[in-house]
Amino acid sequence: MDLAEAQGEVDVKTAFMPGLPGFAIKVSPGFFDNPKLDLPSVSGMMMVLSARTGRLEALHLDNGYLTDLRTAAAGAVAARHLARPDARVAGVLGAGVQARLQIQALAMVRPIERVLVWTREGAKADAYADEMTRRLGLDVIPVESAEKLVLESDVVVSATPSRTPLVVADWLQPGLHVTAMGADAPGKNELHTGVLERADLLVCDSRAQCARLGELHHALEQGIDVAVTELGEITSGARPGRTGPDQITVCDLTGTGVQDTAIALLAYDKAKAAGLGTTIEN
């Protein structure tokens, strides 16, 4: 729902997965005048409902934290199936929360030694490099262009709110994997459509949703026909991920309700085990 007069929007997501004890309903408000009030733009919460009775079991007042984590985790899942096992250089476009978390998650599944970072405003890349060098104990290096970053990386993560493509097909070298996770609305766009055409394997978290909100949207809009594999088809073993060191792979992530249900249940289990939270009789 758009709330134009408050520069706001609210998204609600849910997913029921047969066999799990609960399911999440997530409410994500984004109000873009909030920084003027010294408040973050994004807030939000996740409800955990019993899959057997529908009753509320828990409410995570997480202000988007669990969404940040599951989004980064999805990037790492994509990299585990699509990036070369020996990927050592990661490039990240953007310097926001996801640019941080995606690289942190990626470093858990691939032997990353160096991180290259590029942003439109160079100062943000410098600050990112300082902070992430300390946090990860890796070389994190600002580079002067997106082109240089893509040419020198084994894995590229684009994590920007860009509305014009940042990566073009000419820069793609054999063996590269690219995950684009910034686009979550029809107007957002990080990869030139040529990148999708050039990919030997193009993966979406949800084909239907990427066709509406993701990089895939722009290809379809231009009448470009590309073969798409869903990430779940790969994680379940139904279809292969990367099958050789020279393949170029691209993954378009828009975020799904299934991921919210998964992390909300995990957080609930961990909180219960640790005795955290406030209990309210209802």
Binding site for its own copies (CB under 8 A): 1, 3, 5-6, 8, 10, 12, 14, 16, 18, 23, 25, 27, 29-31, 34, 37, 39, 43-45, 47, 49, 51-56, 59, 61, 63, 278, 280, 282
Return the H-helix or E-strand segment holding 122. Answer: helix 122-136
CB of 248 to its own copies, least distance (A): 38
Nearer to its own copies, 55 or 134 (CB): 55
**What's the CA gap between 111 and 108, in Å, rounded?**
8
Strand-strand pairing, 56-60 and 45-50: antiparallel
Closer residue to its own copies in complex, CB, 47/168: 47
CA distance 32 to 73: 26
The H-or-E segment that residue 104 falls in is helix 97-106
> Between 4 and 273, whose beta carbon lies closer to its own copies?
4
- Least separation, in Å, of the C-beta of 4 and its own copies? 9
Q: How far is the CB of 261 from its own copies (least distance, A)?
A: 12
Q: List the structure tokens of 197.
A: 């055409």
Q: How many other β-carbons are positioned within 10 Å of the β-carbon of residue 35? A: 10
Q: How far is the CB of 105 from its own copies (least distance, A)?
A: 26
Task: Give 61 or 208: the residue with its C-beta nearer to its own copies.
Answer: 61
CB of 268 to its own copies, least distance (A): 16
What share of residues in the chain are helix, strand, coil (percent, to 5)? 35, 25, 40
| Closer residue to its own copies, CB minimum distance, 7 or 133 | 7
For residue 50, report the phi and psi dihedrals to the nearest 5 degrees: -65, 130
